[in-house]
Amino acid sequence: MLFDSVPPDQQKYTLDDTFSFACHNELSCFNACCRNKHLPLSPYDVLRLKRALRLDSDTFLVEYAVYALDPRSGFPIISLRMREDEGKTCPFVCEEGCRVYNDRPTACRLFPLGRASKSGGNGETRDQFFFLQDIPGCLGKGEKKLWTVKQWLKDQGVLPYMAINDKMLDLLFHPKREVGKPLDDRQLQKLIVACYNLDAFRTFVAESNLLDASRVDAETRSRIEKEETALLMFGLAYLTATLFE
């Protein structure tokens, strides 16, 4: 999440700040948070979900994703397509909980926390903090289980997601990007393929001399050719180097 003005300090949580929360199926609100949501997906979210569902990129994007452009940044936003039912429920929620729990998106892992970032002067630095979301009807925040933010991030497996997601922030706050100027069609296509359609990006890498031109070592090259996470990281590095040329 991006913000235009910095919220008051009392609304910010550091890694050592504490909050109370627990979610379980004995709460009457169990699964209620999995409906009527706008849930943006990061590139790593898409990677994990499509892999968990054993789908290729095109199929996942058609069946489970909604595409839009952020009116402020001009960057594409890929969001989870909710069911066309009265509650606009998540396609992965069932009575027992989440069908893709081990591969659930960043926002679901963070909940009830949110994470926000603000660009510094000329897009060179970032101010980042956590905050407790205001979710009416959530009984989990009334539970007695106490966490520090740091403990929650580790327990929910958020840290690997954050590390990769921050590479997208590096693009958004890239020093060569003209703030307020939307991406052109070439830039959009480049970003969507390298970030969200890894099957297409793998084909592009295999049929071009991109790995040779990037001078990656043999071990890294092998990982890029075999591992989707390594391919995504290479794609993000490629975009950082070339998107705003």
In order along its 245 residues, the chain shows pLDDT tens digits of 444 445 566 678 999 999 999 999 999 999 988 988 889 999 999 999 999 999 999 999 999 999 999 888 889 999 999 999 988 999 999 988 999 999 999 999 999 999 987 655 444 445 678 999 888 889 999 999 999 999 999 999 999 999 999 899 889 889 899 887 889 999 999 999 999 999 999 999 999 999 989 898 999 999 999 999 999 999 999 999 999 98
Provide the pLDDT for residue 10.
Answer: 61
Provide the pLDDT for residue 122.
Answer: 46
Provide the pLDDT for residue 65.
Answer: 97
Q: What are the strands, taking DSSP E only, across 70-204?
A: 76-80, 93-94, 97-98, 113-119, 126-132, 146-148
Q: How far apart are CA 151 and CA 19, in angstroms?
A: 11
Phi, psi of 157 (to 5 degrees): 70, 35
**3-state DSSP assignment of residue 243:** coil
CB 99 within 8 A of CB 52: no
Provide the pLDDT for residue 244.
Answer: 93
Q: How far apart are CA 226 and CA 4, in angstroms?
A: 40
Give, as one character, the DSSP assignment of residue 74: -
Provide the pLDDT for residue 87.
Answer: 86
Report the chain's C-alpha Rg in angstroms.
19
Provide the pLDDT for residue 130.
Answer: 93
**What dihedral do alpha carbons 52, 243, 128, 48 form, nearest 10°?**
0
Provide the pLDDT for residue 8.
Answer: 63
Q: What are the strands, taking DSSP E only, across the chain?
A: 18-20, 65-69, 76-80, 93-94, 97-98, 113-119, 126-132, 146-148
